Amino acid sequence: MIRRMLAGLVVLLVLVTGSGRSGLGAPAPGETITVAMMSDATALDPHRTNDGPSFLVINQIFETLLVRTARGLEPRLATSWRPVGDRTWEFKLRRGVKFHDGTPFNAEAVRFSIDRFINPQSRARAYFVLSMVEGAKVIADDTVQITTRFPFAALLNHLTHPSTSIISPTAVGRFGADFVRNPVGTGPFKFDSWVARDRITMVRNDDYWGGPPQIARVIMRPIPEASTQIVELESGGVDLIFNMPADSVARLDRNPRVTVYKEPSFSANYIGFHMERAPFTDVRVRRAVGHAVRVAGLITFFLKDLATPANGPLSPVVFGANPDLPGYEYDLDRARALLAEAGVRPGLRPRLVIFESAEWRRIAQAIQASLQPLGFQVEVDVVEFGTWLSRLDRGEFEMYGMRWGTVTLDADYTLYSLFHSSQAPNPNYSRYKNPEVDRLLDEGRAIADQGRREQIYRRAQSLIVRDAPMIFLYYPLSTYAVRSGIQHTTAPFSWINLELRKATVQR
């Protein structure tokens, strides 16, 4: 089995191909691929969710107008696009496409999906993705125009986000609120069933516009424990797993029945603070935490160098990332001095809320150990993923751990959503408010010149790092492992982007 390991952050994934191992026959039609998920989905309506496990499934069932690959923006349900004025884009749509329920895909379906997404009554969880959109207009059956309230340079990137997937108007009318459990899209696989906390099953779309997949069935299994995922992979219970614990990567790499992939990702891991809750209302306390964490050691000992230190919120593969940010240098004396200036005494017991994950358990342990010399007794709450999201929404924490991916590969997506005051408390979970940052992010949204946008976002990131609403830890590589005989999968930049349209199985 040939192993491909792409560790350089400047190398971008184009296609992931499987083994050319001899002795395997022709790909067998009608096979099943089973994929391990870190947790169950929360909803399968693209407008009702904004989390990775849900998008992993949604990306098999639904499609967006455009997709972002290592080559850049590429067609999906739209075949071409052009600007019409400074606030409107016109899209030519793919012809002959049908939703899984037989409803024709056309401009009216796009208009319906966009208008539903931006309708305040819909309460789209990822509303910020299209909050700048004024509306969509049908020009012809295969032509639609989308207009923004101001010139917005990143619109095309935002239309690659899974939450903007085009949905069947007929199915929404039929199922209403139950569409979250009865998803109908145009994708290569159709929803079959969902047994909560056990499995989500999808079947091949024989009428798929791109040609029917060879895979007959895809099963997504929530398996929170990484050790269980690995055992299942090695025994054949699952075919793909993602984001393995770093100390398991080398073990799997030696397994001749498994191929391990290491790809650059659009993600960043960080520790966030509740800025409206003492002692983290004081920037000196937040900075002290930043100076107390030895990130380089964390990466070496816990992550086995499958990450690089973060100096800000954006992975280097994202447009607008600022490589010149100072970050926080490990300096315990400086940390103690900042706490003394803030009048903070030993004995604080802040809650750090994380979701169930082998990686985050280790990070939490490192944070606990790092803050003990400062007199912090960090209490770690490890909860199920959906509960974790609810805790963040309600503000039931002093500190929280998160991996956030810049799904659109444009700075606006992360900076506006996590740091603009209008986005508190979701997804600006830190409740961060800085009028100058708001002004810069509003300006960055409203101009087309990419050079100016980059300068604006660099300035905004400098202010954000200074204010320390969170401590940026590292940019992880995206790692995943595939059993022998699974070929022609692709997962550019993140596991949530897994594509199985061209996947084959040779058992």
> Rounded to the nearest 5°, which phi and psi values hold at 42?
-100, -30
Half-sphere exposure (CA, 13 Å, Cβ side) for 36?
26
For 462-476, the pLDDT digits (tens) are 999 999 999 999 999
Round the average pLDDT of the chain to a whole number and report it: 92
pLDDT for res 14: 31
Bigger pLDDT: 207 or 3? 207
Q: Mean pLDDT across the stretch 85-104?
A: 97
pLDDT for res 257: 95
Residues of the chain with CATH 3.90.76.10: 63-175
pLDDT for res 26: 45
Q: Mean pLDDT across the stretch 401-424?
A: 96
Q: Mean pLDDT across the stretch 130-153?
A: 96
pLDDT for residue 5 is more than 70: no
CATH (one of 3.30.1300.30, 3.40.50.2000, 3.60.20.30, 3.40.190.10) for 32-45+187-263+491-505: 3.40.190.10
Architecture label for domain 63-175: Alpha-Beta Complex (3.90)
Picking from 12-26, 174-188, 376-390, which range would have the lowest pLDDT averaged per residue? 12-26
Residue type, 477: L
pLDDT for residue 181 is more than 60: yes
Please give the Cα distance from 201 to 195 (Å, whole number).
9
pLDDT for res 430: 98
DSSP code at position 465 = H
Strand order in the sheet with 88-93: 78-83, 88-93, 143-148, 133-140
Per the rule left: phi > 0, alpha: psi between -120 and 50, beta: everything else, 48 is alpha
Q: Tell me how many degrees the CA angle 108-110-111 measures, rounded to the nearest 5.
A: 65
pLDDT for res 29: 59
Q: Mean pLDDT across the stretch 264-270?
A: 96
For 21-75, the pLDDT digits (tens) are 323 344 455 699 999 999 999 999 999 999 999 999 999 999 999 999 888 899 9
Question: Are β-strands 478-483 and 240-242 bridged in parallel, bridged antiparallel, or unpaired?
Answer: antiparallel
pLDDT for residue 159 is more than 60: yes
Q: Mean pLDDT across the stretch 396-415?
A: 97
Give the CA-trace dihedral at 416, 419, 424, 425, to 10 degrees.
110
Q: Collect all residues with Cβ–Cβ distance below 8 Å to 473 and sequence separation of at least 6.
A: 268, 269, 270, 271, 293, 295, 298, 309, 310, 363
Cβ neighbourhood burial of 486 (10 Å; 0-12, 13-18, 19+):
buried
% of the chain exceeding 70 in pLDDT: 94
Give, in order, the Cα–Cα distances in Å from 276 to each of 64, 287, 349, 432.
37, 16, 16, 9
Assign 4 a pLDDT band (cuts: 50, 70, 90): very low
For 275-334, the pLDDT digits (tens) are 999 999 999 999 999 999 999 999 999 999 999 999 999 999 999 999 999 989 999 999
For 32-44, the pLDDT digits (tens) are 999 999 999 999 9
Helix or strand or coil: residue 206?
coil
pTM: 0.87
CATH (one of 3.30.70.260, 3.30.390.30, 3.40.50.150, 3.10.105.10) for 267-476: 3.10.105.10
pLDDT for res 247: 87
% of the chain exceeding 90 in pLDDT: 88
Bigger pLDDT: 169 or 3? 169
Please give the Cα distance from 161 to 425 (Å, whole number).
21
Residues of the chain with CATH 3.40.190.10: 32-45+187-263+491-505
